Amino acid sequence: MSTKNFLFVNRKAPYGTVYALESLEVVLISAAFEQNVSLAFIDDGVYQITKGQNSKGIGMKNFSPTYRALGDYDITKLYVSTESLAERGLTVDDLMELTYEDADDDYAEKPSIILVNREEMAAMMAEQEVILSF
């Protein structure tokens, strides 16, 4: 099977619509097929990876812990828009600490979140072969 660069662009808040959860499921499936997968969190998509999510009160499953498993799936590049965070009154400290273990560096734990501005995000997008937007 040929390996392609996949980018999943996440632009919606979780729980209010099903996009965030659907995206996460497709991400896990494509990673199981050993594709080179990266994620982008833009606009309201940044709310998907906020820390301290507690969905008990709305009777829905809290799927935010699953983002912490992405490293196990060799998904190590999570691009987060700095402008989107700032517009929403958020900083990187409001996000979960998402990491992966680098097999090429004695399994050292490294951060998966990469903060990028719009220009850098656009340049990263230009390098992708398949882009799926949710």
Q: With binding defined as CB under 8 A, does residue 55 bind another protein?
A: yes
Tokens (6 digits) for 113: 């979140």
Q: With binding defined as CB under 8 A, does residue 132 bind another protein?
A: no
Q: With binding defined as CB under 8 A, does residue 61 bind another protein?
A: yes
Cα angle for residues 29, 34, 35 (degrees, 5° grid): 85
Count of residues in contact with another protein, rule CB under 8 A: 44
Segment interacting with another protein, rule: CB under 8 A, options 6-14, 113-121, 123-131: 6-14
Tokens (6 digits) for 66: 């699953």
Give least dist CB 53 to another protein, A.
4
Q: With binding defined as CB under 8 A, does residue 133 bind another protein?
A: no
Residues between 79 and 98 with contacts to another protein, criterion CB under 8 A? 86-90, 94
Segment interacting with another protein, rule: CB under 8 A, options 2-10, 21-29, 111-119, 124-132: 21-29
Cα angle for residues 67, 14, 122 (degrees, 5° grid): 70
Residue 123 vs residues 12, 74, 89: alpha-carbon distances, Å: 22, 22, 25
Contacts of 98 (CB under 8 A, 6+ apart): 49, 67, 68, 70, 71, 78, 111, 112, 113
Q: Which residues of this protein are in contact with another protein, per CB under 8 A?
A: 11-17, 25, 28-34, 43-44, 47, 50-58, 60-66, 68-69, 72-73, 86-90, 94
